[in-house]
Amino acid sequence: MKSKIAEESHVPAVERPYRQIAAAVVGNLIEWYDWYIYSLLAVYFAEQYFPSDSEGSLVPLLAALGVFAVGFFMRPLGSLFLGRLGDRYGRKKALQTTVSLMGVGSLLIGLSPTYAQIGLLAPVILIAARLLQGLSTGGEYGSASAFLVESAPPNRRGFFSSFFYLGATAGNVAAVGSVALLSGILDQAAMESWGWRVPFLIGAAASLCAIWIRRSSVETLTTGEAPSGSPAKSGMFDFVRQHPLQTLQVVGMQLGPSVAFYTWVVFLPTYAQITVGFDRAESIRIGLISLIFFWAVVPICGWASDKVGRKPFLYASSLAFTVGTVPLLGMLSNSFWSLLVVQCAGMAALACFASIASAVQAELFPSRIRVLGIGFPYALTVAIFGGTGPYIATWLIDSGRTSLFSWYIAALSAITFLTFVSMPETARKPLED
């Protein structure tokens, strides 16, 4: 008789789901922690890589943030190359590669010499590290989304899908918390000298933990015989040639949420500060409260979508931003409750979409092109629309046309709503092999 341990070693992924969830969420948390600490710490290390000149003290910071932007341009490329890896050789291999690249990038930044030590080679190393991290982030979404949904029992794909954004948001909070803690312990001089390196080195070490956890997960690619080493036969752009409608649907369904996500999760505190003079410290506290609210709502929406279907939640999210963005942003005032209501209302609408986005997108494509089909149109849409949202908002405010930004979000959300109308209900549809 086989031992219980021997039997468990061959248990299918669906029968031990929480190992799969841990592999996706822990790696995703570390991915987004490493991605965001750069922007939080740039103010401390900018002058060590881009010395200031007589033109102005903001030149080093602008240069460092420019390097941050370079990483966004690499995300579509990462989604292509690492998506190809995930579809041919397995989701595990792609997920281990993404977190490895992110860890190497953080290690390079944490240990890199400064401009005073090696001259122009210092910013070159910094740029190379961010390019690696951009590739990593680009490959993570499609691979982790496919992995989570394929790991789920057929009646729980929405619930499993919700863990993607739980991990990503936890990474954002961990980044803010680590920088806040370190800057509270060390003085300004110590932070600028060496303290800024610590979070990067922590991220690099944590990546090793994520690699180990992901290594112990179970492969979910059922076609292509990935575990035996015989790759699936598919071209890099088969997802466009064979599923053009589904590819466009991924783009359409990301238009509104991409801008709304970066506005409500990242930019809204700043938006409130520059439009109604809201207190900076208080806006950050409200931001943290809204993230906790988001964490609570996301898994509930994912669970409920498995019961009643995906489309009610997709309609609710897109309609909320189509008809609600203008009045919501218009009601902002210099009041704690005003910003809290606006932020939580937006986060509730985002949760309806974010909780099931991975499941809906995974349900559109067959297994052999699922990672590419999800990852590339997502990365391209987020890079073009999501990443530019705060810039467009700031430009419109500066030009005296603040209300146009609300209408911009509403218009994109209307396109997203029409995209959802064109899509079938997929909650009870079997995943295509």
pLDDT per residue as tens digits for the range 109-125 = 999 998 889 888 888 89
Residue 56 DSSP SS3: strand
Residue 223: what residue type?
A: T
Least confidently predicted of 109-113, 117-121, 207-211, 409-413: 117-121
- Reference 173, options 262, 289, 263; nearest CA is 289
Tell me the average pLDDT across 15-25. Answer: 80
Q: Do 204 and 134 belong to one domain?
A: yes
* Residues 343-392: tens digit of each pLDDT: 999 999 999 999 999 999 999 999 889 999 999 999 999 888 877 777 78
Q: Do 194 and 81 belong to one domain?
A: yes
Rounded-to-integer distance, Cα 348 and Cα 320, Å: 9
Residue 63 has pLDDT above 90, yes or no: no
What is the predicted pLDDT for the residue at 13?
Answer: 43
Q: Taking the CA of residue 253 as centre, how many other CA atoms within 13 Å lie in the half-sphere pointing to its CB?
A: 30
Tell me the average pLDDT across 140-158. Answer: 90
The winner for highest mean pLDDT among 126-135, 241-250, 414-423 is 414-423
Residue 230 is assigned to a structural domain of this protein: no
Residue 202 has pLDDT above 90, yes or no: yes
Q: Where are the alpha helices (DSSP H) in 152-196?
A: 157-161, 163-185, 188-190
Rounded-to-integer distance, Cα 341 and Cα 102, Å: 36
What is the predicted pLDDT for the residue at 197?
Answer: 93
Rounded-to-integer distance, Cα 362 and Cα 357, Å: 8
Residue 178 has pLDDT above 80, yes or no: yes
What is the predicted pLDDT for the residue at 61?
Answer: 59
Residue 414 has pLDDT above 90, yes or no: yes
**What pTM value is reported for the model?**
0.83
Q: Do 94 and 196 belong to one domain?
A: yes
Residues contacting residue 57 through CB under 8 Å, at least 6 positions apart: none
Residue 91 is assigned to a structural domain of this protein: yes
3-state helix vs strand vs coil in the chain, percent to 5? 80, 0, 20
What is the predicted pLDDT for the residue at 64?
Answer: 64
Q: Are 317 and 360 in contact (CB under 8 A)?
A: no
The per-residue b/e assignment along 241-272, b for 16 or more CB within 10 angstroms, e otherwise, is ebbeebbebbbbbbbbbbbbbbbbbbbbbbbb
Give 306 or 227, the one with higher predicted confidence: 306
What is the predicted pLDDT for the residue at 234?
Answer: 61
We report the CATH number of the domain holding residue 302 as 1.20.1250.20
Residue 229 is assigned to a structural domain of this protein: no
Q: Do 172 and 254 belong to one domain?
A: no
Q: Do 260 and 210 belong to one domain?
A: no
Residue 11 is assigned to a structural domain of this protein: no
Q: Do 275 and 330 belong to one domain?
A: yes
Q: Do 243 and 362 belong to one domain?
A: yes
Q: Do 141 and 54 belong to one domain?
A: yes
Residue 88 is assigned to a structural domain of this protein: yes
Q: Do 321 and 211 belong to one domain?
A: no
Q: Do 55 and 139 belong to one domain?
A: yes
Last residue of a domain, one of 189, 220, 251: 220
Domain that holds residue 412: 238-422
Tell me the average pLDDT across 275-283. Answer: 78
End-to-end CA distance of the chain: 34
The per-residue b/e assignment along 63-86, b for 16 or more CB within 10 angstroms, e otherwise, is bbbebbeebbebbbbbbbbbbbbb
Residues contacting residue 192 through CB under 8 Å, at least 6 positions apart: 44, 45, 47, 48
Last residue of a domain, one of 220, 255, 278: 220
> What are the structure tokens assigned to 47, written together?
């002058």
Residues contacting residue 277 through CB under 8 Å, at least 6 positions apart: 334
- Reference 362, options 261, 258, 243; nearest CA is 243
Question: How big is the CA angle at 258 (ends 254 and 264), to the nearest 5 degrees?
Answer: 145
Residue 7 has pLDDT above 70, yes or no: no
Q: Do 265 and 139 belong to one domain?
A: no
Residue 62 has pLDDT above 70, yes or no: no
- Beta-strand runs (E) in 66-210: none
Residue 12 has pLDDT above 60, yes or no: no
Q: Given pLDDT bands bounded at 50, 70 and 90, which one contains residue 54? A: very low
Give 414 or 282, the one with higher predicted confidence: 414
Total domain count, the chain: 2
Last residue of a domain, one of 154, 185, 220: 220
Tell me the average pLDDT across 156-175. Answer: 88
Residue 8 is assigned to a structural domain of this protein: no
Give 216 or 267, the one with higher predicted confidence: 216
Residue 67 is assigned to a structural domain of this protein: yes
Phi, psi at 280, each rounded to 5°: -65, -50
* Residues 85-115: tens digit of each pLDDT: 999 899 999 999 999 999 999 999 999 998 8
What is the predicted pLDDT for the residue at 9?
Answer: 37
Residue 227 is assigned to a structural domain of this protein: no
Residue 144 has pLDDT above 60, yes or no: yes
Mean pLDDT across the chain, nearest whole number?
Answer: 84
Q: Do 200 and 74 belong to one domain?
A: yes
